[in-house]
Amino acid sequence: MRVVCGGSSDVGRVRANNEDAYRIVDELRLYVLSDGMGGEAHGEVASAIAVQTVAEHCAELVHAEPGSARKANGKSAADTGANGESGERAMMLASAVRLANKKIFWSAEKNAAQKGMGATLTAAWIDGRKLTLAHVGDSRVYLLRGGDLHQLTSDHSLVAEQVRRGIITPAEAEKSDMQSVLLRALGAQLEVEVETGEQGLMARDVLLLCSDGLTRMVGDVEIAGALQAEGDPQKAAENLVALANENGGADNVTAIVLRLDEEKKNWLSWFWGGANKNGK
């Protein structure tokens, strides 16, 4: 699969500084986004630690001996997907996220000014036609396929949990003053539960990683429309950020857009592919 990507981040119309961070690691097809929390407690430090740690740790594990991720990760049920199973890449991502959590926690412990800082973390890793996700918090990953937008991650927030339990409706959740209350975030405790999952990919799929600065300002229908209207991932990411700001820009906003297609092969690559199959 060929992957074309673009990313954009902005402080928004209300906040004084941007606590969001993202990292695109083209050589690994790894995409990481984090929304820092803490304001004066340096949320931007937490998000920077998060994306850097995940990117670097995954790169180290890829070049390490087979099984290193499983050894580093253990077989914790907290880091398995919905089916109770976890592949090697999911183990790598979970290990990286847990390490990022510890680094943020330890940094806050050592520096009084950072007390209370934390971050969300959402990571997407593409290997062929398989997408592996790791997630903590309320930043999201969406899949646009055939015009339909699907949220691939579950928000680890109070209002999302209330919706899942039928206590409030989705419409009530959108108006709740408790939207910013997270049940899970990096740096809050020494250990964190990491949600992982896998998703099959198809040609012409579009993936979006975004902070809640986008989803609180722009509805799913508008997001889908913006992704369909712009074929260039970089411009699409910038358009989504601009749309969030046009709708109020109440928070920092970050978007990473990925477009997937079949790898185009020229006649020479087909020739060598056929030759290899024939053992010549």
pLDDT at 19: 96
Q: Where are the domains of the chain?
A: 2-263
**pLDDT one-digit tens code per residue, 12-36:** 999 999 999 999 999 999 999 999 9
What letter would DSSP give residue 263? P
Q: Which residue has the higher pLDDT, 7 or 182?
A: 7
> Which tokens sit at 130?
């398989």
Residue 133 in contact with residue 153, Cβ under 8 Å? Answer: yes
Decide the pairing of beta strands 195-200 and 206-210.
unpaired
Q: Which residue has the higher pLDDT, 60 or 166?
A: 60
d(CA 187, CA 103): 8
156 has a pLDDT exceeding 70: yes
**What mean pLDDT do residues 134-161 have?**
93
**pLDDT-derived band at 158, boundaries 50, 70, 90:** confident
2-263 is classed CATH 3.30.300.30: no
Q: Is 228 helix (H, G, I), strand (E, B) or coil?
A: helix
Residue 256 backbone dihedrals phi, psi, to 5 degrees: -120, 125
Cβ neighbours, 10 Å, residue 244: 29
pLDDT at 78: 43
**pLDDT one-digit tens code per residue, 225-256:** 999 999 999 999 999 999 999 999 999 999 99
270 has a pLDDT exceeding 90: no
**pLDDT one-digit tens code per residue, 53-92:** 999 999 999 988 565 555 555 544 344 444 334 689 999 9
pLDDT at 280: 38
What does the CA dihedral 264, 269, 270, 275 come to, rounded to 10 degrees?
-160
d(CA 82, CA 125): 17
Q: Which residue has the higher pLDDT, 85 or 269?
A: 269
**pLDDT one-digit tens code per residue, 90-138:** 999 999 999 999 999 999 999 999 999 999 999 999 999 999 999 999 9
**pLDDT-derived band at 188, boundaries 50, 70, 90:** very high
